[in-house]
Amino acid sequence: MNNKISVIGVPMDLGQMRRGVDMGPSAIRYAGMVERLTQLKYDIEDLGDIEIPRPAQPAGVKHDNLRNLNEIAEGTQRLANEVDQIVGKGSFPLVLGGDHSIAMGTLAGLSKHYENLGVIWYDAHGDLNTADSSPSGNIHGMPLAVSLGIGHEKLTSIHGEEPKIKPENIVIIGARSLDEGERILIKEKGIKVYTMHEVDRMGMTQVIEESVDYLKDRTDGVHLSLDLDGLDPNEAPGVGTPVLGGLSYRESHLAMEMLHQSGMITSAEFVEVNPILDEKNKTASLAVGLMGSLFGESLK
């Protein structure tokens, strides 16, 4: 992995309706992220938080069944600019959320530097909804579809009109809550998904080994997008959309350790930490622990 890490916080809470996730970047920093990664001999540059526009109308107002569309498009464009610059100067982008809608900006910024960007989507949800398929209109359930070029033009055109990723370069791990429209899109596009059924049956070791084998020859960089609701809510209670039966603390550390050993991860984001819903910053501390494993922390 790149020895220089540039951290950017994105206090975005407009992609869903539960307040508090905008404090996620601060909670993660408070949990000792910089100190943890500095101990691993990384050169850490914390760029602070980007400014997220506040809605002129009451938060949650829908445009074309999309909540806070204009503000999210503007905020994620700012993030895309930052990520583009970070990669351009040869640093590893580490993005702190904020709700998962921010991934649209992260992937848009990254896409300028890769022909075949791979994505590991570590999440309970597929985030493959559109305005037509979404039951809620919450944009944090749409970033993967948008990054494929599917969705409202204000979102798909962030940092360039073209799709940011290809469906054959995606691996979703930990899915256990998929809407009907998402299931259809997964089948249509042939997206590789390891649901909790596969994780339980195969074990995390095989899931990661297969994911690495699947991505290593078809991609020229791999982004890890880790939603803390991918973990079981008993492990990570401070998330806005918890789903029972999730990935364990031990499975997740193993996954991060194996991804580090693969040497293929070129950028990462950790999202959906909501300290208002948390227990003594437990979820943010877990996120920092997983970062430690991703960046090479071990007992040996």
Query: Strand 265-271 to strand 92-97: parallel, antiparallel, or no bridges (unpaired)?
Result: parallel
**Dihedral, 214, 200, 127, 259 alpha carbons, nearest 10:** -40
CA-CA distance, 280 to 30, in Å (whole number)? 11
Exposure of 181 by Cβ count < 10 A (0-12 exposed, 13-18 middle, 19+ buried)? Answer: middle
**Runs of H (alpha helix) within 89-179:** 103-111, 143-147, 153-156
pLDDT tens per residue across all 300 residues of the chain:
779 999 999 999 999 988 999 999 999 999 999 999 999 999 999 999 999 998 876 656 667 779 999 999 999 999 999 999 999 999 999 999 999 999 999 999 999 999 999 999 999 999 999 988 888 889 999 999 999 999 999 999 999 999 999 999 999 999 999 999 999 999 999 999 999 999 999 999 999 999 999 999 999 999 999 999 999 999 999 999 999 999 999 999 999 999 999 999 999 999 999 999 999 999 999 999 999 999 999 866
As beta bridge partners, residue 14 has: none
Please name the fold of domain 4-294: Arginase; Chain A (3.40.800)
Question: According to the model, what pLDDT value does residue 7 have?
Answer: 98
- For residue 298, how many other CB atoms are within 10 A of its CB? 11
Which residues form the catalytic set?
A: 100, 123, 125, 127, 140, 227, 229, 272
Distances (CA, A) of 287 to 33, 99, 122, 281: 9, 14, 13, 10
Distances (CA, A) of 26 to 7, 31, 38, 96, 150: 12, 9, 18, 9, 32
Which amino acid is present at 203?
G
Question: According to the model, what pLDDT value does residue 135 have?
Answer: 85
- For residue 53, how many other CB atoms are within 10 A of its CB? 14
